[in-house]
Structure formats: C-alpha cells, structure tokens
Amino acid sequence: MLRDREGTEMPCILNKTTVRLITFLGLLFCGLFVCYGLRHGLFTSQEDLRTFVEGFGVWGGAAFVLFQAVQVVVPILPGGLGCLAGVLLFGPWWGFAWNYTGICLGSLAAFLLARRYGRPVLNLLFRRETIEKYELWTERHFARWFTAAIFFPVAPDDFLCWLAGTTRMSLKQFSTIILLGKPASIALYSLGLATVFQWLAGLLPG
C-alpha cells in the first residue's frame, strides 16, 4: 500500500537542525511556563490557573490550538500531556474542544506534508526502528489498522498520520477517520490523566 513515488524534494529548511530547534524552543517555552507557574502559585489551585489563562481571552485558546497542532507535526511533549494541559487550563469541555481542534489540524498537516514529500520526511523525523515496525501495516489492510489505532490510544498516532501520507489512502478517508476517531482517544487521555493528576495533587501537602 506504499505509494510509488518518493515525493517532491524537500526544501533546505526542512532538516534535522530545524526540527531540533523547534523541539528545543517548544521545551524551553514549556519549561519557562512551569517555572512561572510555580513561582506565582498557579499549580496549587486549578481555579487560579484557569483565571490566569482566561486573562488572555480568545488568544489563550488560539495559542493552545496552535501548540497542539505543531505538537503533532513536530513532537515536543508526549501527546497525553498536551491533552492533560488542555483540561487543566480550560476545563473539561473547552479543553476537549481545543485539544480536538489542534490535534485534528496537526494530523491533517502531517498527512499532507508526508503526501507531498514522501518517505524522506519520515526518515527526517522518526527513528528507523519505528518506521520499520509500523511499515508492515502498509502491506495489508492499512486503513483497518490505522482506524483501530486512532480510536484506541495504544499506538503512536502522530507517527501513523505521517505514515498514512505515504500510502495510497485518500485525504477524504484519512480526514473521516481522524475526525470521527479522535474524540474517543482524546477524551480517554484528557479525562483519564486529569483524574490521575487530581489524585496525585491531593496527596501533596496543602
């Protein structure tokens, strides 16, 4: 089910140095935010954290959607942590909405980039072992395996979105699977991790 062509030549800006720089900047931003939050007591009260975020108005949600989209294209943090952050920052409903929007946009971007540049972009972003492991899925019934992985968060969804772009799967089929399959996995990640986080927070001294 792999596509015959390798894709068009990637621009010079798409290289390992650029990927590492984006990852570093993303981690730096997350680290600075955590330091700021610890210094101002944002993590001792979920209400204070949400009040802080609400101060940015619609731009807070837009920035988070952008972060989640970029997070799919260039992994910065484990996807589950991003979903947890959405719930903690915006509450369960808006957190789910922003998580869903950002992850779906990022998934579509990854698919289209892989469709344009082909296998070389996979070699740029992912380890050979990962590619070889899941490349077997493309030999038979890839759409079935991909759908199952999207509905049930047990496989590297972000990588599989890239891999899907190098197969003969159509954009319409891919979009349908993502739009219908992501809500379940995002809800499991978001609510499950939020419950664990609240339980752990309850163990800490006040």
| 87-134 tens-digit pLDDT | 878 887 888 899 899 999 999 999 999 999 888 888 888 888 888 888
Tell me which range, 59-63, 85-89, 99-103, 148-152, is most confidently predicted by mean pLDDT. Answer: 99-103
Average pLDDT of span 133-155: 80
Is residue 76 within 8 Å of 23, Cβ to Cβ? yes
Residue 178 DSSP SS3: helix
CA distances (Å), origin 192, targets 98, 101, 184, 185, 188: 17, 19, 12, 10, 5
* Phi and psi torsions of 165, nearest 5°: -70, -15
- Tell me the whole-structure pTM to 2 decimals: 0.80
Q: Note whether 164 and 114 are within 8 A (CB).
A: yes
Helices (H), the chain: 16-39, 46-54, 58-73, 79-117, 119-125, 128-135, 142-151, 157-164, 171-203
Sketch the domain layout of the chain as residue ranges: 16-203
